[in-house]
A and B are shown apart, each in its own frame.
Chain A
Amino acid sequence: MIAFILRRLASAVPTLFIVVTISFFLMRFAPGGPFNLERPLPPATMENLMRTYHLDQPLWRQYMTYLGNAVTGDFGPSYIYHDNNVAQLIGKGLPYSMELGFYALLLAVIGGVIAGTVAALKQNSLIDFAVMSVSTIGVTVPNFVVGPVLTLIFAIMLSWLPAGGWGDGSFRFLILPIIALALPQLAVFARLTRGSMIEALNTDHIRTAKAYGLPVRSVVITHAMRGALLPVVSYLAPCAAALLTGSAVVETIFTIPGVGRYFVLGAINRDYTLVMGTVILVAIFVIVFNLVVDILYGLLDPRVRHD
């Protein structure tokens, strides 16, 4: 198992390297720079700025420097947010994004699995129909529509909840963003669970378990669930990575100071280092969660072997 984990981590290095290289050169070959403002800076100032940030050096040297620094965890200064370097910015924003993402993930997984299981058990009933309709809505309607509509209903028309911001961090501020973040994922989990649960309930070993007269609950939870959760678990990795690294849309709608917005802001302002930092962050999350899910897979399904 440990050898497997080590091997996977080793194979992540080239992936990260490629991601970093592609993003780095893609940005540099594009026109414009971080200091090209609407009113051009005086040439002398520009030169000084370029020298300070080593932007006057040849591209390959900048690249080598960046790689060297990034390995030691130094992602360089932000060109736009002068008071902070990229690591600090991400360090500040990530807790907000992760807290929000964690609750959203929890809601999506638990809600989705329960709804999907119930729908599968009562296949073609009214409950099934309702779950499927709601999940169709969740899959189809993007969160940049759900978010503003939720704000309109619960914050403006009913004034039950705050419309945005982090406030003092109390849960009231989190409810709407969590729902907006979780709904699409919840819908996917519900669909996946329903599909695989229906399949699992029709297998021979479940029929046998039922024939032995085991209570429905134990049949469903201990026997059917185990097999049915496999597709759910494999979807967990991309979902967790996406939710925990913050969503640019939800953070913009609800004005949350997370890392999701940094990428878009960085890209718009040509803040090279900030964009690179967020790209690396997301890539690391994706790789780590893929690994975690592969390990979980092995625990759930004894047919999968990691050797």
Chain B
Amino acid sequence: MTDILQVPAASPETKGRSLFQLALIRFRRNRAAMAGCIMLLLIAIFSFVGPFFSPHSYDQVFPSYVTIGPSLEPRPDASTLQEAMEGVATRARVTLTEFAVEGETFTATVTSEQPIDPRSTRYFDRANEFENTSVVVTEDDGRTMKVQGLVDREYFPFGTDSNGRDLLVRVMLGGQISLAVGLLASLVSLGIGVVYGATSGYIGGRVDNVMMRLVEILYSLPFVFLVVVLVVFFGRSFILIFLVIGAVEWLDMARIVRGQTLALKRREFVGAAQALGLTDWQIIRRHIIPNTIGPVIVFVTVVVPKVILLESFLSFLGLGVQAPLTSWGALISEGANNIQSAPWLLIFPAIFFVVTLFSLNFVGDGLRDALDPKDR
């Protein structure tokens, strides 16, 4: 009692802060959570905007660059080009005397005992590496020919996979799918869990008993197994995967919302709504669900990384989205299979995956601390 008397009257000048503003301030002060936010934003930009800035598409195959290591230098390098050019010369039955590459153009001098047909430039174009070859000078009655053309140089900063696809773009695509599945599946589980939990808690009595008993039975099912069965037997489309994952991740959410609802439904405003003659569904929708939002948001931040993990787990077992689409889990699995010959196939997707999971964890912790200061 004495505590209450000692509370000073709020001075009129200080502006009141809403709970939401307080939460925002607490969240901003949490450095790890802010860093997590920024990392997530960067990774999302990398995954969703990045492909627009890459000249390669995710299913584009480069037969001449299968399983090459990551490098900031353009491919092919000078010595490979030299070899390629010698190959071309052999095929065109001419001798290569001089060869130089400058930036994107090359010049070559070839000789032969007979006059060279200018049409033999098509041999140059036929190689993957060279393009738009044209004759510059012909000397010695056509026995010596200087040709010039463009070198097709590609950048593969992350290297390529065993099919000759650009790993950078594949990691971006994997990010798109992993993040999208994570968000959508969490929304599905959020929707089912909130409606189910709120209904069960609000109606109570026998209905509550039956509904919660059902949740307990579902809990005892081996869940990962259930997901695997569902995915294997009903196909592997993108939509199905997030529906299935969402459909198995709602149990905790339902329990949390039910607990909240049980506390809420004895409050005066719900009684007032009942007295006004609102139907049960209207009360659940307008009064119960909006008031459970705090713990629900916190729990969603736990669900998102869980879902991303589950999706990657499925992809790792070869049950995720199908090629040429990919996700981080599928890329990591591919990397794990080629670990001896091409470790970069594991390292790059794993880095992005792990950083994302860490950031989500930090953001989740930050939100929990910010929204629920008692829980610290």
Contact = CB atoms under 8 A, between A and B. Distances in A.
Q: State whether these chains interact.
A: yes
Interface of A: 15, 18-19, 22-23, 26-27, 30-32, 136, 139-142, 144-145, 147-149, 151-152, 156, 163, 248-249, 252-253, 263-264, 267-268, 270, 275, 278-279, 282-283, 286-287
A26 B230 contact: yes
A253 B229 contact: no
A135 B339 CA distance: 26
* Interface of chain A: mostly helix, strand, loop or mixed: helix
Given A140-B361, A148-B346, 20 more contacts: A22-B221, A26-B230, A27-B229, A30-B232, A30-B233, A31-B233, A141-B354, A142-B309, A142-B313, A144-B312, A144-B313, A144-B333, A148-B332, A152-B346, A156-B339, A253-B336, A263-B228, A267-B232, A283-B220, A283-B222
Contacts of A252: 317
A165 to B, nearest CB: 14
B363 to A, nearest CB: 12
A264 B228 contact: yes
Given A26-B229, A30-B234, A151-B339, A145 B222 contact: no
Nearest to A12: B220
Contacts of B226: 23, 26
B31 to A, nearest CB: 15
11 contacts: A18-B217, A19-B222, A26-B229, A141-B354, A142-B313, A144-B329, A148-B346, A249-B316, A263-B225, A264-B319, A267-B233
A148 B313 CA distance: 14
B262 interface: no
Interface in B319-358: 319, 329, 332-333, 335-336, 339-340, 343, 346, 350, 353-354, 357-358
Given A32-B233, A156-B340, A267-B228, A145 B332 contact: yes
Task: Identify the interface centre among A141, A149, A156: most chain B CB within 10 Å of its CB.
Answer: A149
A152 to B, nearest CB: 5
Contacts of A283: 220-222
A230 B305 CA distance: 27
For this complex, into which size category does the number of interface residues on chain B fall? 35 or more
B225 A279 contact: yes
B229 A147 contact: no
B220 A144 contact: no
B285 to A, nearest CB: 31
A182 B353 CA distance: 20
A63 to B, nearest CB: 16
A275 B229 contact: yes
Given A144-B312, A145-B354, A282 B225 contact: yes
B225 A26 contact: no
A160 to B, nearest CB: 15
Nearest to A14: B217
Interface in B180-221: 217, 220-221
A152 B340 CA distance: 7
Contacts of B313: 142, 144, 249
B246 to A, nearest CB: 17
A135 to B, nearest CB: 11
B221 A142 contact: no
A253 B340 CA distance: 13
A15 B213 CA distance: 11
A22 B229 CA distance: 11
A286 B229 contact: no
B228 A15 contact: no
Contacts of A145: 332, 350, 353-354
Contacts of A149: 346, 350
Contacts of A30: 229, 232-234
Interface string B62-103: 000000000000000000000000000000000000000000
A268 B339 contact: no
A144 B350 CA distance: 10
B233 A27 contact: yes
Nearest to B318: A268
Given A15-B217, A145-B332, A152-B339, A278 B225 contact: yes
Given A32-B233, A151-B339, A279-B222, A140 B354 contact: yes
A142 B313 CA distance: 9
B333 to A, nearest CB: 7
A257 B39 CA distance: 40
A282 B221 CA distance: 9
